[in-house]
Every structure is written in structure tokens, then in C-alpha cells.
């Protein structure tokens, strides 16, 4: 299954929840809850918003990379994950949904990681 098919299956599973909507972020297909983005498909990778500590764990395990939307500044609460990573996209997207729905990850999420 390629990245677009994998993302589409995640979207279909999550859109059963009426609080979740589809929209575009950085021109890429994404998912929102409560008007806030929590996941998108960007350049063939799933990109999700998670607590910075969780992002760092994924990066350290080499299952993810800090997300840079192209302006040279990493977004500390966003991680991009290849389709072939050991972690399941659906699980990551659900984690991101829960994180954002809880009101976490407010202003300042674009700081460069240390």
C-alpha cells in the first residue's frame, strides 16, 4: 500500500467521528479536530502533532523525523513518518487526535528542537 492509500484508510477510519474534518495544511490533505490540525499527508509521509517528548522518542528510534515544512525551522511538536516505519500510522494519528483534542500543543510549537 502506498502512502496515499495508507493515509486514505486512516482518514476513512477517523472520519466516522463527526468532530473530525478534512482540510488542507501546507497544500496537503489533513485532518482537524476542534478547528486544529493534528495530521496530514505531506510529501509521501504522515505528519502528526504529538507532545515534544513523544516526537523525540520517535526521532531517536529512527521511526520519525522532526517536521520542517520547508522554511528551515523544525516544528517541535510535529513528526513525519515514512509509510514503511515500524509504527502504525493509524495509531499515531489517534495519538495526535487525542493530544490536540485535549487542548495541548498551543502557541510556540514552531520552535527549533534542541
pLDDT, tens only, 33-85: 999 999 999 999 999 999 999 999 999 999 999 998 887 888 889 999 998 88
Tell me, yes or no, whether 112 lies in a domain. Answer: no
Tell me, yes or no, whether 18 lies in a domain. Answer: yes
What grid cell was written down for 94?
A: 489517534
**DSSP-H helix ranges across the chain:** 3-14, 52-60, 89-101
The answer to whether the beta carbons of residues 78 and 67 sit under 8 Å apart is yes
Residue 14: strand, helix, or coil: helix
Tell me, yes or no, whether 29 lies in a domain. Answer: yes
Tell me, yes or no, whether 88 lies in a domain. Answer: yes
Is the pLDDT at 109 greater than 70, yes or no?
no
Tell me, yes or no, whether 107 lies in a domain. Answer: no
The confidence score (pLDDT) of residue 105 equals: 55
The share of the chain scoring above pLDDT 70, in percent, equals 90
Tell me, yes or no, whether 38 lies in a domain. Answer: yes
The confidence score (pLDDT) of residue 112 equals: 43
Q: Which domain holds residue 75?
A: 3-101
Amino acid at each position: 500500500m502506498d502512502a496515499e492509500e495508507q493515509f486514505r484508510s486512516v482518514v476513512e477510519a477517523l472520519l466516522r467521528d463527526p468532530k473530525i474534518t478534512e482540510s488542507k495544511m501546507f497544500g496537503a490533505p489533513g485532518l482537524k479536530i476542534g478547528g486544529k490540525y493534528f495530521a496530514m499527508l505531506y510529501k509521501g509521509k504522515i505528519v502528526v502533532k504529538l507532545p515534544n517528548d513523544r516526537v523525540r522518542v520517535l526521532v531517536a528510534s529512527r521511526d520519525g523525523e522532526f517536521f520542517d515544512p520547508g522554511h528551515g525551522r523544525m516544528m517541535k511538536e510535529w513528526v513525519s513518518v515514512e509509510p514503511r516505519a515500524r509504527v502504525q500510522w493509524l495509531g499515531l494519528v489517534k495519538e495526535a487526535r487525542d493530544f490536540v483534542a485535549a487542548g495541548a500543543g498551543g502557541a510556540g510549537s514552531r520552535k527549533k528542537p534542541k
